[in-house]
Amino acid sequence: MATAIVYTEFGGPKVLHAVEIPAPVPAADEVAIRVEAAGVNPIDAKLRAGKRASAEIVEPRRVGNDGAGIVTAVGDDVDGFRPGDAVVFSGASGAYASDLVVRADRVHSRPPQVDAATGAALGIPVGTAYQTLRSLSVGTGDTLLLHAGSGSVGQAAIQLAVLWGATVIATSSPRRADSVRALGATPVPYGDGLADRVRELAPQGVTVAIDAAGTDEALQTSIELVSDKTRIATLVRGRDAASLGIRAFSGGSPVPLTAQQQAWRGEAVPVVLALLAAGRFAVELGPSFPLADAVDAHRAVEAGVDGKITLVP
């Protein structure tokens, strides 16, 4: 038997509970994994609380998408993996578990330089950052205004944008400014006068903006400073994007990601694993909780604690 975290109704963190499930057996195109760490993402809490639209709950609903672990079995049609391999996975169904099966195309070999917690922290944050930067064609010559630079998505976006030749200005609290600066961005405090402060830092102008904060200030400042609205994207206020004339990638957007955008999100994990192995990317880890304490993990993510939260079976 294996253990998984589920919920049977929408609500606060307390609706999460552990259940025993049959040990998973991989189908022809799947890999069975003993989970060493599962990433806890804000979207997990939003779905659990019913704050992000999802289907009606008709059976216990599993939680989580990202994780890392050790291969225990492979399906008949799977090449490239064998039992004992250390791996990272993303886009899974029910990562909050002791064991699960994942489609082989969503599993990636984990370099020895990358521990399980770091690997579990990658999927949604780096996938979102990588796809957004690619969709907005961020690169050499760009000045990027990034809102919420100290979050997991923001930190990934800063590092990738800098690697690709962009200049990055990132909003943060004064307390988190040094963390943003260490990743290669120029921090700027949010609050009244933000647009003027950004103009002082970027007299050449801002060419592209990404909203990972979801505040009116972030959206209004981006629209004020970036002349080409097709190079402004929100990752949080997707339902408002069309009325503002800007772009949205998930974040509640009624427009689904394109096949290309989905492919970029999948491409991000192996790209970042290679950067981690080469010492050219960093992940800020936050607290780790036992799998049985998923309730506390969700309380922590809703409180906005620093660093990536993980669950350990």
Answer whether 126's CB lies under 8 Å from 268's CB: yes
Task: Determine, yes or no, domain membership for 276.
Answer: no
Regarding whether 308 and 211 lie in a shared domain, the answer is: no
How many domains does the chain fold into?
Answer: 2
- Could you say which residues of the chain have pLDDT below 70? none
Domain boundary among 248, 272, 300: 248
pLDDT of residue 53: 87
Regarding whether 14 and 117 lie in a shared domain, the answer is: yes
Task: Output the furthest CA–CA distance in the chain (Å, rounded).
Answer: 61
Quick: pLDDT tens for 264-309: 999 999 999 999 999 999 999 999 999 999 999 999 999 999 999 9
In whole angstroms, give the CA distance from residue 291 to residue 17: 10
Non-local CB neighbours of 73 within 8 Å, separated by 6+ positions: 25, 26, 31, 32, 83
Quick: pLDDT tens for 167-193: 999 999 999 999 999 999 999 999 999
Structural domain range at position 243: 125-248
pLDDT of residue 237: 96
In whole angstroms, give the CA distance from residue 206 to residue 222: 9
| Ramachandran category for residue 203: left, alpha or beta (phi over 0 → left; psi -120 to 50 → alpha) | alpha
Answer whether 283's CB lies under 8 Å from 121's CB: yes
Regarding whether 189 and 105 lie in a shared domain, the answer is: no
Task: Determine, yes or no, domain membership for 259.
Answer: no
Task: Determine, yes or no, domain membership for 110.
Answer: yes
pLDDT of residue 228: 98
Regarding whether 133 and 237 lie in a shared domain, the answer is: yes
> In the sheet where 2-7 sits, what is the strand order?
17-21, 2-7, 61-62
Regarding whether 36 and 107 lie in a shared domain, the answer is: yes
CATH number at residue 75: 3.90.180.10
Task: Determine, yes or no, domain membership for 84.
Answer: yes
Task: Determine, yes or no, domain membership for 58.
Answer: yes
Task: Determine, yes or no, domain membership for 221.
Answer: yes
What are the contacts of 283-286 at 24+ separation with CB within 8 A? Answer: 283/118, 283/121, 283/122, 283/155, 283/308, 284/152, 284/155, 284/179, 284/308, 285/117, 285/118, 285/121, 285/310, 286/310
Task: Determine, yes or no, domain membership for 17.
Answer: yes
Regarding whether 83 and 167 lie in a shared domain, the answer is: no
Regarding whether 98 and 55 lie in a shared domain, the answer is: yes
Regarding whether 40 and 10 lie in a shared domain, the answer is: yes
Answer whether 238's CB lies under 8 Å from 248's CB: yes
Regarding whether 129 and 174 lie in a shared domain, the answer is: yes
pLDDT of residue 67: 98
Regarding whether 137 and 70 lie in a shared domain, the answer is: no
DSSP secondary structure string, 281-307?
----EEEEEEGGGHHHHHHHHHHT-SS
Regarding whether 94 and 166 lie in a shared domain, the answer is: no
CATH number at residue 158: 3.40.50.720
Task: Determine, yes or no, domain membership for 261.
Answer: no
